[in-house]
Amino acid sequence: MTRVVLSIGSNLGDRLARLQSVVDGLGEAVLAVSPVYETDPWGRMDQGPFLNAVVIADDPACDGQGWLRRAQEFERAAGRVRGERWGPRTLDIDLIACYGDTEEICREDNLTLPHPLAHLRAFVMIPWLAIEPDARLTVAGGPRAVAGLLAELEAADRDSVRLTQLTLKPKGKPPVERESEA
């Protein structure tokens, strides 16, 4: 396995810096970084908005479990405490899909690939399509165009994902502007 699609999000503290920490941590493995979007919370609504982005990375040494370990290391470094489902997060990283020669299908206790809810989340699909317009994701029934899956969502879901002027930069690029602590 080499290529991964990661959805990254934060709604606590310096949200942008937390997202940038993932891009920085992946370093040369980063192939593409989406624009940054502000999104309404998903699942539990009584919390602040998230900043979300998608990162596509490549590392021939990582399979799905390797990418999961890396994601969890980034979350721990950002002070992530696992507790409430769909609650506030300093940093949340979801593995959306992993690809080698084909898309990895995984059903293990700690990892399901492709992500079982990705096709229901506009905050995943909109940033992903911004950097990979022809993206495909396996759902029940087989591989589907992400653009088609997004079109099936309610307009309110799509409208809850708002493009910002914030950007994430791969290592070696100029620094991004920072949010003030919230």
Instruction: Enumerate domains of the chain plus CATH numbers.
Output: 3-163 (3.30.70.560)
Residue keyed to tokens 């982005």: 53
Question: CB atoms < 10 A from the CB of 26, how many?
Answer: 22
pLDDT at 30: 95
Q: What percent of the chain has a predicted confidence (pLDDT) above 90?
A: 63
Of residues 129, 132, 138, 116, the one with CA closest to residue 161: 129
Q: What is the pLDDT of residue 112?
A: 85
Q: In Å, how far from its chain's centre is CA 172?
A: 22
Please say whether the beta carbons of 54 and 7 come within 8 A: yes
If you average pLDDT over residues 85-97, what whole number do you get? Answer: 82
Catalytic positions are 80, 89, 92, 94
Q: Is the pLDDT of residue 70 over 90?
A: yes
pTM of the model as a whole? 0.88
Q: Which of 71-80, 149-158, 171-180 has the lowest mean pLDDT?
A: 171-180
- Report how far residue 161's alpha carbon sits from residue 94's, in angstroms, rounded to the nearest whole number: 17
Contact yes or no for 49/33 (Cβ under 8 A): no
Q: Identify any residues that bridge with 111 across adjacent strands, giving them in sequence order.
A: 108
- Please give the helix or strand (H or E) that residue 55 lies within, else none: strand 50-58
| pLDDT tens digits along 20-56 | 999 999 999 999 999 999 998 766 666 789 999 999 9
Instruction: Say yes or no to pLDDT of 151 above 60.
Output: yes
Report residue 31 as tokens. Answer: 């192939």
Provide the pLDDT for residue 108: 87
Position 152 pLDDT exceeds 50: yes
Given a cut of 50, whether residue 16 has pLDDT beyond it is yes
> What is the rounded distance in angstroms from the CA atom of residue 157 to the CA atom of residue 166?
21
What's the mean pLDDT in 137-147? 92
